[in-house]
Amino acid sequence: MSEEKKDLYHQDPFFYNQHEINQSSLFPFFNDNNPSVYNHPVTQTLQGFDPSFMTFTDCLHGSMDYNTLSRAFDMSCNSPSGHQNHHLITPIDTNLKKQAAMGDSAGTSENPSTPNSSVSASSSNEAAGEEESDKSKKDKQPQGCEEDGDEAKSKKANKPKKKEKRQREPRFAFLTKSEIDHLEDGYRWRKYGQKAVKNSPYPRSYYRCTSQKCTVKKRVERNFQDPSIVITTYEGQHNHQCPATLRGNAAGMLSPSLLACASIRPSFPQQLLTQFLPTNNQVDPNSMFYRNLSAQQQLQLPDYGLLQDLVPSFSNRQKP
């Protein structure tokens, strides 16, 4: 990424979307100041594709491409109004990022919304596969070679010389207005690194899912231009159930975000639905939201049904 682009990115979260990755979804719903925003863009957004077949989860699983998602979301993205509680959901393709990083050629000069500029999920999944093999290679390496003493010390220098381009899993970035850096999403994370971010006073933290064999990672950083905005980037897909689900999920015992987590399939980027919910952390356990979700629904409800529960207007629009 060029310096100029980086600066733009920090100054304007939307730049992340429009200029760097060409894909985005801006969710100006659940505006704290406007409860009616409930039935606003998300409804439109989800009507962009049949949610019974095309869920966000499906997207992550590769059954729909980013193009579709982007188009659907774009229906709700174009309003720059109400910066109060914007949430950006960004399917990031690392190849696109690289293109953008290459300079003006790919990322900035094209129309950000050009459908052809997106990359299908399948290609991303291929990349994910390669990444996985690459990663597992890396992870297994210490155990694989039985080295001792000095050899162990120099193990990093003895890495396999085979040069495979490192590929990354599909990423999804969320912009969340929050005082808390590490937002609760129902999964357990272990911090494994922290780096200073260039041109930003706020560090970037690296987290890894603590579940065995789960390779999901996330990065958390603050927008230095607007410190109240947390940028969370998920990479990979959970291969296990949400711990919050397993812990037992009596209604009213879980925070809305955990409940949302429990309501969906494991690989879903939980914060997405977290953002669907009112974020005032003081949700009445007797509220419609809680009462509408039975334990079974929480676990098995199709996304469509879930959204009906979460977004009443969604139901209304679907079934006038």
Partner DNA sequence: CGGATTTGACCCGCGC
Partner DNA sequence: GCGCGGGTCAAATCCG
- Return d(Cα 167, Cα 217) in angstroms, integer: 14
Please say whether the beta carbons of 231 and 222 come within 8 A. Answer: yes
Which of these ranges, 43-51, 108-116, 193-201, 292-300, lies near DNA under the rule CB under 7 A? 193-201
**Residue 151 binds DNA (CB under 7 A):** no
- Return d(Cα 244, Cα 252) in angstroms, integer: 13
Q: Measured from the CB of residue 223, what is the shortest distance to DNA in angstroms?
A: 14
Please say whether the beta carbons of 283 and 289 come within 8 A. Answer: yes
CA angle 196, 204, 80 (to 5 degrees): 115
**Residue 194 binds DNA (CB under 7 A):** yes
Q: Measured from the CB of residue 188, what is the shortest distance to DNA in angstroms?
A: 6
Tokens (6 digits) for 135: 């990663």
**Residue 159 binds DNA (CB under 7 A):** yes
**Residue 101 binds DNA (CB under 7 A):** yes
- Exactly one of 4, 32, 164, 284 binds DNA (CB under 7 A); that residue is 164
Residues of this chain, 103-122, that bind DNA according to CB under 7 A: 103
- Exactly one of 32, 84, 102, 136 binds DNA (CB under 7 A); that residue is 102
With contacts defined by CB under 7 A, how many residues of the chain interact with DNA? 33
Of 68, 31, 65, nearest in space to 46 by CA: 68
Which of these ranges, 54-62, 63-71, 152-160, 303-311, lies near DNA under the rule CB under 7 A? 152-160
- Exactly one of 104, 139, 151, 284 binds DNA (CB under 7 A); that residue is 139
- Return d(Cα 99, Cα 95) in angstroms, integer: 6
Torsion of the alpha carbons at 264, 266, 272 and 277, rounded to the nearest 10? 40
- Exactly one of 83, 111, 138, 294 binds DNA (CB under 7 A); that residue is 138
Q: Measured from the CB of residue 148, what is the shortest distance to DNA in angstroms?
A: 12
Q: Measured from the CB of residue 167, what is the shortest distance to DNA in angstroms?
A: 9
Residues of this chain, 265-304, that bind DNA according to CB under 7 A: none
Residues of this chain, 3-42, that bind DNA according to CB under 7 A: 6
Q: For DNA, which is the closer residue by CB, 149 or 320?
A: 149
Which of these ranges, 61-69, 161-169, 284-292, 301-309, lies near DNA under the rule CB under 7 A? 161-169
Q: For DNA, which is the closer residue by CB, 40 or 218?
A: 218
- Exactly one of 87, 217, 222, 265 binds DNA (CB under 7 A); that residue is 217
**Residue 163 binds DNA (CB under 7 A):** yes
Of 165, 129, 157, nearest in space to 141 by CA: 157
Which of these ranges, 45-53, 64-72, 183-191, 299-307, lies near DNA under the rule CB under 7 A? 183-191
Q: Where along the sequence are the contacts to DNA (CB under 7 A)? A: 6, 98, 101-103, 138-139, 142, 154-157, 159, 163-166, 188-195, 197-198, 204-206, 210, 217, 219
